[in-house]
Amino acid sequence: MTALELSSRSDRARLKSAVVAYYDFAWRVLRRFGLSSDEADDATQEVFAVLASKIAAVEPGAEKTYLFQTASRLASNVRRRRARLPVQAGDGELDAHPDPSPTPESLADANQRWRRLDELLARLPDDLRSVFILCEIESTTLAEAASMLEIPQGTVASRLRRARAQLLASMEVCSSESRKDEP
């Protein structure tokens, strides 16, 4: 018997609701934490499998927080596991779910910007990256991010400020390096 078969009808309904509401959120979080598209696909399923096995213990209304924390830990595990493996070429895939109507040029530009953001995010420590992903990419409020990360709102604000400053500094370094490479 699986965890789903053992859970109550209300738990199954909560799980179904969480999958519908937060599947894309979990996938995006995993991608922003540095997983490839294929890794994010697999990890998203694993995140929801964990939720399915623990749904009865998750407070109703806290599913998004639980999913974020689980995705964050899982992404960290995948990155550690990947670091132990030989280096392989990047996945070379489109980095975001594209808008159905853009031109090929605008799609290429958008994908290049997402790849660049992913590279810059990879340079941030996990505590700053978590706050930046939630507040800037997922548009959560400082209060929501504080609740999800289980830290004070002032700490969220401080980490967001530091993340922005580090990203800006990294962008300036990249920009000056690219100008040096021009003829």
**Pairwise CA distance, residues 107 & 111, whole Å:** 6
136 vs 177: which has the higher pLDDT: 136
| 146-156 per-residue burial string, b: 16 or more CB within 10 A, e: under 16 | bbbbebeeeeb
Query: What integer pLDDT is reported at residue 174 of this predicted model?
Result: 77
Q: At residue 98, does pLDDT exceed 60? A: no
Q: For the domain 107-183, what is the CATH code?
A: 1.10.10.10
**Residue pLDDT, tens place only, 21-71:** 999 999 999 999 989 999 999 999 999 999 999 999 999 999 999 999 999
Listed ranges 24-33, 89-98, 173-182; the one with the highest mean pLDDT: 24-33
2 vs 144: which has the higher pLDDT: 144
Tokens of 179: 């100008």
* pLDDT tier for residue 4 given thresholds of 50, 70 and 90: very low
Query: What integer pLDDT is reported at residue 125 of this predicted model?
Result: 94
Percent residues over pLDDT 70 in the chain = 83
Give the chain's mean pLDDT: 85
Query: What integer pLDDT is reported at residue 85 of this predicted model?
Result: 72
C-alpha pair distances (Å), 79 with each of 33, 34, 52, 171: 9, 8, 24, 23
Query: What integer pLDDT is reported at residue 94 of this predicted model?
Result: 45
**Residue pLDDT, tens place only, 9-23:** 888 899 999 999 999
Percent residues over pLDDT 90 in the chain = 57
Q: At residue 126, does pLDDT exceed 80? A: yes
State the CATH class of domain 1-84: mainly alpha
| pTM exceeding the 0.75 threshold for the entire prediction | no
Q: At residue 99, does pLDDT exceed 50? A: no
Asked if 67 contacts 22 with a C-beta cutoff of 8 angstroms, the reply is: yes
> Hey, where are the domains in the chain?
1-84, 107-183
Asked if 53 contacts 3 with a C-beta cutoff of 8 angstroms, the reply is: yes
